[in-house]
Amino acid sequence: MKTIFSIISLVVLSCSLYAQDTLITKLNLEQSIAIALKNNIDVQRSSIQTENAKVGLQQSRANLLPNLNSGVTHGINLGRSIDPFTNAFSNEQVTYAQPYLNSSLTLFNGMSLQNLIKQNSFLYQASKQEEQQAKDNLSLNVTLAYLQVLTAKDLYTISLSQQEVTAKQLERLEIMHQNGSIAPAEYYDVKGQYSGDKLSAVNAANSLENAKVALAALLNISYHKELELEPLTADQFALVYEGGAEQVYQSALTNYAGIKAADLRLKSAEYGVRASRAGFFPRISFDAGVGSNFSNAARDAQGLPIGYFRQYNNNINQGYSVGINIPLFNAFRTRNNVAIAKLAQRENYLLSESVRVQLQQLTSQAYLNMEASRERYQNLLEQKEAFAESFRTMEIRFNAGAINSVDYLVSKNNYDRANQNLATNRYDFILRKKILDFYKGKSLL
């Protein structure tokens, strides 16, 4: 159902993008990832590399088939030559033609062709896993960009709310300032705070648009200031994650596309060594051919020229042969090819081990970051609630004239910073969970 929904969403979205200059585009995370996978250049290049590996596999399988070639040679012999029709010497100018059709089939070559098929099969599977890895990386980057837009939007909303609160206080204090019922410093402190809040709103708006530009670049679509993103659902904010760091790592060893690609390339290299060793074995082949010839000097019993196609039919000859080619010495070429193939195998083994070590480090670090993000979010949530209550009481006292503007602004700024920090970190925990899902090979949606 989710796949069908994605297809329908993409169709509707594609139909709506024809008027991008005026249409307000609204996207959710699922649609954003789907559009990126369709449009991203790096993913398309990875797909081309997979198709290239597929063609290589198809060709290695086709190499088991016999070849078939046909042709004809036309020529003129001048001076003393052998008449191809009579096989006698002739001093006349002779025009001749020699058509042929031949085929060759390799019967045995040290299992080179079979091992090359297996080598290219594993290369093709590795390319598919690397393509999937590119898609997974892009999905993670789109998720990050999507969350950055949501974070920037929340910060912009908070900045507008802060500006509105200060504006109401400034409006009240302006009347009191005009009546001379407060000290001028009280009024100008809040007025300065209002200017700072407006500046924060401008900066937040600019950050929001920059985040949209970054997301549009990943999706490979035109940037629109009117771009709207759907917020995440409440269940995605749940402060829980199933499994520990070791469980994430063990799951990643089975599902992570990067591990699969490295292991498949190692298997491919193993069959590359086997294929290169085939050069030490004899090669046995079967050949068959059909040919004919024509000569303008050919005459029948009455001395009349024999026609072109009649000669072809009269002179048809066939041949069959089985040949064996035994390698005795080839300047150590085969031995060196085997050595190079073994080095490639060792290199792929080290790469496979390196990927595992890096994956263990990355999963452990990602899990620690997720745990720290969860604790930080919980602390910031408590801090916001505390500063919210503090600011509420300080605002009541300030309105009653029980405290000065300095105390009021300190309390307000503490509350504003708590709101901003919470908004910045509320999506960080979601991102950390997405990264762990990414390593486990799970869908990011």
Predicted pLDDT at 2: 41
Look at residue 84 in the predicted model and tell me its pLDDT. 60
The three-class DSSP label of residue 255 is: helix
Do 127 and 257 form a contact (C-beta atoms < 8 A)? no
pLDDT of residue 267: 96
Residue among 222, 241, 182 at smallest CA distance from 367:
241
In the chain, which stretches have pLDDT less than 50?
A: 1-24
Rounded-to-integer distance, Cα 144 and Cα 228, Å: 16
Q: How far is CA 87 from CA 83, 294, 313, in A?
A: 5, 12, 18
Q: What is the pLDDT of residue 14?
A: 47
* pLDDT at 152 (0 to 100): 93
Strand 283-291 and strand 228-229: pairing?
unpaired
pLDDT computed for residue 21 by the predictor: 40
Residue 368 confidence (pLDDT): 93
Q: Which DSSP symbol is given to 401?
A: T
**In this structure, are residues 377 and 429 in contact, taking their beta carbons and an 8 Å threshold?**
yes
> Are 116 and 63 a contacting pair, CB within 8 Å?
yes
CA distance 58 to 275: 17
Q: What is the β-pairing status of strands 26-27 and 228-229?
A: parallel
Name 27's bridge partners.
229
CATH number given to 24-65+109-281+327-439: 1.20.1600.10
pTM to 2 decimals? 0.80
**Phi, psi dihedrals of residue 315, rounded to the nearest 5°:** -105, 15
Residues of the chain within CATH 1.20.1600.10 domain(s) are: 24-65+109-281+327-439
- Residue 10 has what pLDDT? 45
Q: In the prediction, which pLDDT does 325 show?
A: 93
Alpha helices in 63-183 (DSSP H): 112-179
Distance between CA atoms of 18 and 16, rounded to whole angstroms? 6
Quick one: pLDDT at residue 445? 63
Region label for 292, one of left (φ > 0), alpha (ψ between -120 and 50) or beta (otherwise): beta
Look-up: residue for tokens 């080095």?
343
Residue with tokens 């590996």: 53
Note the pLDDT of residue 101. Answer: 95
Cβ 390 vs Cβ 408: under 8 Å:
no
Nearest-angstrom CA–CA distance, 221 and 214: 11
Q: How far is CA 440 from CA 113, 363, 364, 382, in A?
A: 37, 9, 12, 32
| Structure-token pair, residue 314 | 């009269």
Which residue, 128, 102, 363, is CA-closest to 243?
363
pLDDT at residue 65, rounded to an integer: 95
pLDDT at residue number 374: 87
Cα(385)–Cα(374) distance, integer angstroms = 17
Percent helix, strand and coil across the chain, each rounded to 5?
A: 70, 15, 20
- pLDDT attached to residue 118: 97
Residues 6+ apart with CB under 8 A from 25: 13, 16, 17, 224, 226, 227, 228
